[in-house]
Amino acid sequence: MATIVDCPQCGVQVQWNTESKFRPFCSERCKQIDLGAWAEEKYTVPAVNLPEDPEQSDLN
């Protein structure tokens, strides 16, 4: 049975296999839109701000 995923950009269902050239995207267009969003910093990854003085950290 083939694995089916939703395109992260438009939601169209895509078969996940070696023939799916743009997986997990449904097309080159959706892939490029997503790349552009990353380039424009529309997506972010949260960072953890650690204290500068390790002795003040609750992790020790």
32 domain residue, yes or no: yes
Could you tell me the CATH number of the domain that includes residue 22? 3.30.50.10
Residue 54: per-residue pLDDT? 62
3-31 pLDDT, tens digit per residue, is 999 999 999 999 999 899 999 999 999 99
Residue with token string 């500068």: 52
Mean per-residue pLDDT over the chain, rounded: 86
Q: Is the pLDDT of residue 48 over 60?
A: yes
Report the C-alpha gap between 25 and 15 in whole angstroms: 10
Amino acid present at 13: Q
Instruction: Name the residue range of residue 28's domain.
Output: 3-39
The three-class DSSP label of residue 31 is helix
Which H or E run contains 40? none
**Please, are residues 13 and 27 in contact by the beta-carbon 8 Å criterion?**
no
pTM, rounded to two decimals: 0.66
